[in-house]
Amino acid sequence: MNCGQNRNLVMARAMAVAVQRFKLDEYLKYDDGADGRYELVDGGLEPKRLGTGKHSQAT
Protein backbone atom coordinates (compact mmCIF):
# COMPACT_ATOMS: atom_id res chain seq x y z
CA MET A 1 0.00 0.00 0.00
CA ASN A 2 1.45 3.39 -0.95
CA CYS A 3 1.21 6.60 1.12
CA GLY A 4 -1.79 7.91 -0.80
CA GLN A 5 -3.77 4.71 -0.31
CA ASN A 6 -2.84 4.61 3.37
CA ARG A 7 -3.94 8.23 3.85
CA ASN A 8 -7.27 7.52 2.13
CA LEU A 9 -7.85 4.50 4.36
CA VAL A 10 -7.11 6.53 7.49
CA MET A 11 -9.46 9.30 6.35
CA ALA A 12 -12.22 6.82 5.51
CA ARG A 13 -11.97 5.28 8.96
CA ALA A 14 -11.98 8.70 10.63
CA MET A 15 -15.09 9.72 8.69
CA ALA A 16 -17.01 6.56 9.56
CA VAL A 17 -19.93 7.35 11.83
CA ALA A 18 -21.97 4.80 13.73
CA VAL A 19 -25.57 5.00 12.58
CA GLN A 20 -28.27 3.61 14.80
CA ARG A 21 -30.68 1.37 12.94
CA PHE A 22 -34.27 1.10 14.09
CA LYS A 23 -36.89 -1.59 13.76
CA LEU A 24 -40.46 -0.41 13.28
CA ASP A 25 -41.45 -0.89 16.93
CA GLU A 26 -38.36 1.05 18.08
CA TYR A 27 -39.13 3.86 15.62
CA LEU A 28 -42.70 4.14 16.86
CA LYS A 29 -41.45 4.51 20.46
CA TYR A 30 -38.60 6.91 19.55
CA ASP A 31 -38.66 10.36 21.15
CA ASP A 32 -35.62 12.61 20.97
CA GLY A 33 -37.27 15.31 23.05
CA ALA A 34 -37.43 17.70 20.10
CA ASP A 35 -40.43 18.64 17.99
CA GLY A 36 -38.85 17.22 14.82
CA ARG A 37 -40.54 14.60 12.70
CA TYR A 38 -38.69 11.71 11.14
CA GLU A 39 -39.21 9.06 8.49
CA LEU A 40 -37.85 5.55 8.83
CA VAL A 41 -35.74 4.88 5.71
CA ASP A 42 -33.82 1.60 5.50
CA GLY A 43 -33.69 1.44 9.29
CA GLY A 44 -32.33 4.97 9.67
CA LEU A 45 -34.07 8.14 10.75
CA GLU A 46 -34.39 10.84 8.11
CA PRO A 47 -35.67 14.28 9.17
CA LYS A 48 -38.89 15.15 7.37
CA ARG A 49 -38.63 18.31 5.34
CA LEU A 50 -40.91 21.20 6.13
CA GLY A 51 -43.42 22.26 3.53
CA THR A 52 -43.24 25.66 1.89
CA GLY A 53 -45.99 28.12 1.06
CA LYS A 54 -49.49 26.67 1.49
CA HIS A 55 -48.02 23.20 1.99
CA SER A 56 -46.55 24.31 5.33
CA GLN A 57 -50.05 25.18 6.54
CA ALA A 58 -51.52 21.73 5.85
CA THR A 59 -51.88 19.39 8.81
In this structure, are strands 38-41 and 44-47 parallel, antiparallel, or unpaired?
Answer: antiparallel
pLDDT of residue 35: 81
Q: In this predicted structure, what is the pLDDT of residue 53?
A: 75
Question: Per DSSP, what are the bridge partners of residue 45?
Answer: 40
The string of pLDDT tens digits covering residues 1-59 is 555 565 665 555 555 555 688 999 998 898 888 888 889 888 888 888 777 777 767 66
Q: What pLDDT was estimated at residue 25?
A: 92
Please give the pLDDT value at position 34. Answer: 82
Return the pLDDT at 36: 81
- Rounded to whole angstroms, the Cα distance separating 26 from 57 reads 29
> What pLDDT, on a 0 to 100 scale, did the predictor assign at position 32?
83
3-state secondary structure 11-55: HHHHHCCCCCCCCHHHHHHCCCCCCCCEEEECCEEEECCCCCHHH
